[in-house]
Amino acid sequence: MMIKLNLIPPDKKEGIIKNHQLKKAFLVEIILTIIVIGLFATLLSFKYVLSINLASLAASQKGNKQVAQHSKIKKYDQQFNQINTQIFQTIKLEKDQLYWSKLLVKLSQIIFPGISLDSLSTSDYTVTLRGKADNRDDLILFKEKLENETCFSDINLPLSNLVNKDNIEFQISFKVEKECLKNK
């Protein structure tokens, strides 16, 4: 058994208790301060992690926008290429287009009273005319006018067409220069 003797006066005893309580309160304050600092540090680290995630998300969205813009630009580029191809094909067709109306205009300038045409046929660049001439001189003059025209070559008027003197049914063929049928 143990006996306890209390030799401390009651004022000092009360001071010791208060001192002991003050140390406990101070210790609790230090622990609470450490906990608050830890929570604050945790919140700061969360903020830092969230800001990094937000930055990476923004960068990926920006990348997605750039990819979307790139695909739009690529789509427009393909459309431009298709349109350019169509334009070049149209220009080529227009360049190679033959205007047979130019032949008709030239023939209308050459034909004079006394010559009438019944038919006109073409095969490649060879033109065959069938018609009637009032007399042989008109037919020969018509042939000479065709020969003088730079757009016509290889004029062929068979001699059998020149047998009759009046009311001659004739057939004449010639080649047309390709350049004369194109727009310049």
Give the β-pairing of 115-123 and 152-156: unpaired
Site of tokens 């450490």: 34
Question: Which is more confident, 93 or 134?
Answer: 134
pLDDT per residue as tens digits for the range 108-147: 888 889 888 999 998 888 999 999 999 988 888 989 998 8
Q: Which amino acid is at 46?
A: F
Q: Please state which of the four CATH numbers 2.60.40.10, 3.30.110.30, 3.30.1360.100, 3.40.710.10 is assigned to the domain occupying 100-181.
A: 3.30.1360.100
Categorize the per-residue pLDDT at 105 as very low, low, confident or very high, splitting at 50, 70 and 90: confident
Say if residue 184's pLDDT is above 70. no
Alpha-carbon gap, residue 111 to 115, rounded angstroms: 6
Say if residue 153's pLDDT is above 80. yes
Average pLDDT score over the chain: 87
The full 3-state SS of 39-50, as one line of letters, equals HHHHHHHHHHHH
Question: pTM to 2 decimals?
Answer: 0.52
Distances (CA, A) of 43 to 30, 40, 47, 48, 146: 20, 5, 6, 9, 102
Site of tokens 């065709």: 146
